Amino acid sequence: MRMKPYVYITRKLPEAVIKPLTQQFNVNMWEDKEEPVPKEVLLEEAKKADALLTMLPDVVDENVFSVGEKLKIVANMAVGYDNVDIEAATRYGIAVCNTPDVLTDATADLTFALLMASARRLEEAARFIKEDRWKNWNPYLLIGHDIHHKTIGILGMGKIGEAVAKRAAGFDMNILYHNRSRKPETEQQLGAKYVSFEELIEQSDFVVCLTPLTEETRNMITLSVFKKMKQSAIFVNASRGPVVNEQDLVEALKTGEIAGAGLDVFEKEPIRHNHPLLKLDNVVALPHIGSSTIETRTAMMKVCVDNIEAVLTGKPPITLVNKAWQNA
Ligand code: DGY
């Protein structure tokens, strides 16, 4: 009798969501809800697995593929896939899938919330009232920056960038963007203007980073870039931490090169409480929760499940990252 394919999931996911897998395959999960699966466990599981359902903190590199003799698919529960060695996966004939589209709106909502929270100092204000420091009305009490009619510069106009632009249009913002390719529809529909990287940096009141992490974008925002921003600018990062030089960001914030930052991502996650960024009042920091709504995270899990089911039953994956895999 042929053995059922084996699926390993690197976090505990709800039984109801993974039912299409448990009905057909042998499925095992890393049961710890908090801690990521240790690498040695991942490697042991990869040896037996036909499919892996992985999370953002899992480093899925050549070591995993080289032991995964039966491995056919890695379904990574994120739109970003910088934690997976795509080139190696393709070489080993393994499909890599991500979870685009389903998280676009939730991530854009969070990005815009971060922009608003930073501009209007919501975190400081909430703390202020809870700490019983509100004694009087004062014309400059927790004074912030306007959002409406200001200029937003979106670095990386993918689907999330476009969804952020849509929200910015609702706030009557002037929209600039920089991207590898032009987006004529977004330009036409939202009046977004394509500009060079330098123009965006110099002219924006809000610089919003939504680029994927690649060798090209790693360390893209350094002190010299912050120095070219307006001193009233607010920097928002909801893509990946290493796109920014974090030490330079601390310096730019401390020396007043820029006015503030809203950050959902960090160079090293989880960031520790004693990190210099977390000591600054002009920083709003969130623990990488861009897509973290119950509806969206469930949808992301389902996309992973559907991809695994497709590949293990001989059908094409739905959201394939390594397009070259098809011809492998
Ligand atoms: C992604 O999907 O890449 C996000 O960063 C996770 O929320």
Q: CB of 78 closer than 6 A to ligand 1?
A: yes
Determine the atom of ligand 1 nearest the C-alpha atom of 238: 5
Going by alpha carbons, the residue nearest to atom 3 of ligand 1 is 80
Are the C-beta atoms of residues 161 and 154 closer than 8 Å to each other?
yes
Residue closest by Cα to atom 4 of ligand 1: 78
Show the domain range for 307: 6-100+294-327
**CB distance 77 to ligand 1 below 6 Å:** no
Task: Tell me, using a 6 A CB cutoff, whether residue 213 lines ligand 1.
Answer: no
In a domain, 10, yes or no: yes
238 in any annotated domain: yes
Asked if residue 38 lies in contact with residue 58, where contact means CB atoms within 8 angstroms, the answer is no
Q: Is 300 in the pocket of ligand 1 (CB under 6 A)?
A: no
Question: What is the spatial distance between Cα 85 and Cα 318, in angstroms, rounded to a whole number?
Answer: 19
Q: Is the CB of 96 under 6 A from ligand 1?
A: no
Shared domain for 56 and 112, answered yes or no, is no
Does any domain span residue 1? no
Provide the whole-model pTM: 0.96
- Kindly report the protein residue whose alpha carbon is nearest to atom 2 of ligand 1: 78
| Contact 5 CB / ligand 1 (< 6 Å) | no
228 plus 315 within the same structural domain:
no
Nearest CA to ligand 1 atom 7: 291
**Side-chain half-sphere of 187: how many Cα atoms within 13 Å?**
10
Closest ligand 1 atom to residue 81 Cα is 3
Cα 174 to middle of ligand 1, angstroms: 27
Residue type, 209: C
Residues 6+ apart with CB under 8 A from 213: 80, 82, 239, 240, 242, 243
User: Total structural domains in the chain?
Assistant: 2
Q: Is 241 in the pocket of ligand 1 (CB under 6 A)?
A: no
Q: Answer yes or no: do 259 and 320 share one domain.
A: no
User: In a structure prediction context, what are the per-residue pLDDT tens digits for the chain, which is 328 residues long?
Assistant: 678 999 999 999 999 999 999 999 999 999 987 889 999 999 999 999 999 999 999 999 999 999 999 999 999 999 999 999 999 999 999 999 999 999 999 999 999 999 999 999 999 999 999 999 999 999 999 999 999 999 999 999 999 999 999 999 999 999 999 999 999 999 999 999 999 999 999 999 999 999 999 999 999 999 999 999 999 999 999 999 999 999 999 999 999 999 999 999 999 999 999 999 999 999 999 999 999 999 999 999 999 999 999 999 999 999 999 999 974 4
Ligand 1 pocket test, candidate residues 60, 291, 295, most atoms within 8 A of CB? 291
* 3-state class (DSSP) for residue 163: helix
Do both 257 and 173 map to the same domain? yes
CATH classification at residue 50:
3.40.50.720
What's the one-letter identity of residue 226? F
| Residues with active-site annotation | 240, 269, 288
Distance CA 95, CA 301 (A): 17
Let me know if residue 130 belongs to a domain: yes
Give the closest residue (by CA) to ligand 1 atom 6: 78
DSSP 323: G
Q: For position 4, what pLDDT does the model report?
A: 96
Regarding whether 47 and 181 lie in a shared domain, the answer is: no
Q: Which amino acid is at 79?
A: V
Q: Virtual CA dihedral for 74, 78, 79, 81, nearest 10 degrees?
A: -50
Q: Within this chain, do residues 51 and 16 fall inside the same structural domain, yes or no?
A: yes
- In this structure, are 20 and 169 located in the same domain? no
Q: Measured between alpha carbons, how far is residue 193 from residues 173, 189, 287 in Å?
A: 12, 11, 31
